[in-house]
C-alpha cells in the first residue's frame, strides 16, 4: 500500500491556484522531497494532506485514509513539524513531549517509556530536563522532529525542517532525519527550497513550480536527464585536434569550445578524466587545467522552468495572497480541531 496517494488534487484561493491538479504517490518507508521556491504551493499541499486545509477538488489518501472523509484517522496516523516553531520555551524538553503525548491520548506508562526513546533518537537524552529556551536552534528543531515521532506515526511531514539553521546545524539535522527514516521505517515527506538538502536526503523528489509538479524522479535520474557531468579542460593553444578526437566517441555526449579550451559532457565524468587526458596527449594538446562539474538539482530546476529558485522567489511564486490565505485557513482549522 502507498503511504500517500494523491488524485487530481487542487487548491484555489480566489483567483489564485496554489495547487493545480496533482496526482502522484509516495511509497511506504520512502524519504520523499517536495522542492521548489517559497510560494510554489508546497506548504499548501502539506496542509491539505494533514487535513488543515480542505481541497477545492480532488482528494488524497494518507496511510489508507481519505483526507476529506476520515480526517481523524489521517491525523492519528501522521506527525508534522511546521516551519514555525511550536515549542513552549518555559517548559523542559521532557515536559514539551509529555504535553504533546497527552494530546494524542497516551497514558502515563506509555509516555514514560516513549519519551526517553524519542530523546535518545534525536540525541537530546542529556538535555531533556533543561528548559527549551536554553536550547540552540538546532536542538529545538530536533526536539520538534522528535515530538512529531512521539506517537509512532506512519507518515512524518517536515515542512522546511532546516529553515533558519546555520550550514553546520543544517547538515547535522540531515543526519538525524536520515537516521530516523532508516531506524524507524517511518515514511518522511519533507518540503524544502534547499536543493542540496533534497539531493542529500531524498529517495525521490518532486519539483514543484507555480502549483504544479514539473518533474518526479530520483535525484540521480533528474541530474542525468541534463546529459551528464561536464569536464572543463583548459588547453594551451588551439583545441581543434583534440575536438576531432572527441568526435565518434560513444561515451562523449557533447562538447563545447570555450575561450580556455573545451567543455566535455559525459556520464560519470570522474571515470573518464584519464581517457580525456590520453586523447589530448594523442592530439598533441597540452592540458593546463581540469575541472569536473556535477549537475545539481538547481540546474534541473533551471532547465525545467527557465529560471533559478532565487529568481522564482524574487518573482513571488504563486504570490503572497495564496500564502496568506493558506495560513489563515490553516489557523482556523487548528482552532476548530482544538489543537
pLDDT tens sequence for the chain (339 residues): 799 999 999 999 999 999 999 999 999 999 999 998 888 899 899 999 999 999 999 999 999 999 999 999 999 999 998 887 789 999 999 999 999 999 888 999 999 999 999 999 888 999 999 999 999 988 998 999 889 889 889 999 998 888 888 888 888 888 888 988 888 889 999 998 888 999 999 999 999 998 999 999 999 999 888 878 899 999 999 899 999 999 989 999 889 899 999 999 998 899 999 999 999 999 999 999 999 988 888 888 888 887 778 777 777 655 444 555 555 555 555 444 444
Does 100 fall in a domain? no
Q: Which of 189, 212, 204 is nearest to 40 (CA)?
A: 212
Say whether pTM exceeds 0.85: no
Handedness of CA 34, 37, 39, 40 (dihedral sign): negative
Q: Which of 46, 27, 31, 4 is nearest to 178 (CA)?
A: 31
Does 103 fall in a domain? no
Does 92 fall in a domain? no
Does 96 fall in a domain? no
Instruction: Classify each residue of 155-194 as buried b or exposed e, where b means 16 or more C-beta atoms within 10 Å of its C-beta.
Output: bbbbbbbbeebeeebbebbbebbeebbeeeebbbbbbbbb
CB of 145 within 8 A of CB of 188? Answer: no
Q: Which of 172, 147, 173, 150 is nearest to 160 (CA)?
A: 173
Does 137 fall in a domain? no
What angle, 0 to 180 degrees and rounded to 10, lies between the N-to-C axes of helices 167-184 and 137-149?
20
CA distance linking residue 9 with residue 22, whole number of Å: 5
Instruction: Give the pLDDT of residue 302.
Output: 83
- Characterise 160 by phi-psi region: left (phi > 0), alpha (psi -120 to 50), beta (else): left
Instruction: Give the pLDDT of residue 338.
Output: 46
Please report, for residues 61, 130, 300, the alpha-carbon distance to residue 70 in angstroms, rounded to integers and kept in the order given: 9, 38, 37
Question: Does 237 share its domain with 209?
Answer: no
Q: Count CB-CB contacts under 10 A for residue 135.
A: 19
CA-CA-CA-CA dihedral for 258, 264, 197, 136, to nearest 10: -60
Question: Does 21 share its domain with 50?
Answer: yes
Does 314 fall in a domain? yes
Q: Which of 125, 183, 177, 132 is nearest to 156 (CA)?
A: 177
CA distance linking residue 172 with residue 166, whole number of Å: 10
Backbone phi and psi for residue 99, each to the nearest 5 degrees, phi listed first? -60, -45
Please report, for residues 3, 63, 233, 266, the alpha-carbon distance to residue 155 in angstroms, rounded to integers and kept in the order given: 7, 7, 47, 38
CATH of the domain at 284: 3.30.70.100
What angle, 0 to 180 degrees and rounded to 10, lies between the N-to-C axes of helices 137-149 and 93-103?
30
CATH of the domain at 50: 3.40.50.300
Does 126 fall in a domain? no
**CA 158: distance to chain centroid?**
9
Question: Does 161 share its domain with 264?
Answer: no
Instruction: Give the pLDDT of residue 332.
Output: 52
- Characterise 134 by phi-psi region: left (phi > 0), alpha (psi -120 to 50), beta (else): alpha
Instruction: Give the pLDDT of residue 329.
Output: 58
Instruction: Give the pLDDT of residue 217.
Output: 96
* Domain limits for position 258: 227-293
Question: Does 215 share its domain with 275?
Answer: no
Instruction: Give the pLDDT of residue 326.
Output: 53
Domain count, the chain: 2
Question: Does 52 share its domain with 72?
Answer: yes
Please report, for residues 52, 129, 267, 290, the alpha-carbon distance to residue 250 in angstroms, rounded to integers and kept in the order given: 53, 63, 11, 21
Question: Does 206 share its domain with 237?
Answer: no
Question: Does 9 share its domain with 69?
Answer: yes
Question: Does 8 share its domain with 23?
Answer: yes
Question: Does 193 share its domain with 318?
Answer: yes
Question: Does 198 share its domain with 316?
Answer: yes
Question: Does 10 share its domain with 70?
Answer: yes
Question: Does 33 share its domain with 64?
Answer: yes
Does 315 fall in a domain? yes
Instruction: Give the pLDDT of residue 337.
Output: 47
CA distance linking residue 215 with residue 200, whole number of Å: 18
Amino acid at each position: 500500500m502507498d503511504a500517500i496517494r494523491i488524485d487530481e488534487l487542487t487548491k484555489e484561493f480566489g483567483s489564485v491556484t496554489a495547487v493545480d491538479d496533482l496526482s502522484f504517490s509516495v511509497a511506504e518507508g520512502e524519504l520523499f522531497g517536495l522542492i521548489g521556491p517559497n510560494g510554489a504551493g508546497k506548504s499548501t499541499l502539506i496542509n491539505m494532506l494533514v487535513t488543515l486545509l480542505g481541497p477545492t477538488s480532488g482528494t488524497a489518501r494518507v496511510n489508507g485514509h481519505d483526507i476529506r472523509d476520515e480526517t481523524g484517522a489521517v491525523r492519528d496516523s501522521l506527525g508534522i513539524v511546521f516551519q514555525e516553531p511550536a515549542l513552549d520555551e518555559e517548559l523542559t524538553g521532557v515536559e514539551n513531549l509529555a504535553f504533546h503525548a497527552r494530546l494524542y491520548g497516551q497514558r502515563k506508562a506509555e509516555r514514560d517509556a516513549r519519551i526517553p526513546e524519542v530523546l535518545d533518537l534525536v540525541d537530546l537524552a542529556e538535555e531533556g530536563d533543561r528548559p527549551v529556551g536554553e536550547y540552540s536552534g538546532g536542538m529545538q528543531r530536533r526536539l520538534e522532529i522528535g515530538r512529531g515521532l512521539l506517537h509512532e506515526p506512519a507518515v512524518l511531514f517536515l515542512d522546511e525542517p532546516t529553515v533558519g539553521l546555520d550550514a553546520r546545524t543544517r547538515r547535522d539535522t540531515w543526519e538525524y532525519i536520515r537516521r530516523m527514516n532508516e531506524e524507524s521505517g517511518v515514511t518522511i515527506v519533507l518540503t524544502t527550497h534547499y536543493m542540496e538538502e533534497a539531493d542529500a536526503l531524498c529517495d525521490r523528489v518532486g519539483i514543484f513550480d507555480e502549483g504544479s509538479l514539473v518533474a518526479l524522479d530520483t535525484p540521480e535520474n533528474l541530474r542525468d536527464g541534463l546529459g551528464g557531468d561536464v569536464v572543463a579542460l583548459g588547453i594551451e593553444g588551439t583545441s581543434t585536434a583534440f575536438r576531432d578526437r572527441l568526435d565518434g566517441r560513444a561515451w562523449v555526449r557533447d562538447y563545447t569550445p570555450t575561450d580556455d579550451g573545451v567543455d566535455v559532457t559525459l556520464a560519470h565524468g570522474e571515470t573518464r578524466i584519464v581517457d580525456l587526458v590520453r586523447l589530448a596527449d594523442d592530439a598533441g594538446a597540452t592540458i593546463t587545467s581540469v575541472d569536473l562539474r556535477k549537475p545539481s538539482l538547481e540546474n534541473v530546476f533551471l532547465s525545467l522552468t527557465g529560471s533559478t529558485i532565487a529568481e522564482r522567489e524574487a518573482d513571488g511564486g504563486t504570490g503572497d495572497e495564496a500564502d496568506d490565505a493558506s495560513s489563515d485557513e490553516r489557523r482556523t482549522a487548528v482552532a476548530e480541531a482544538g489543537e
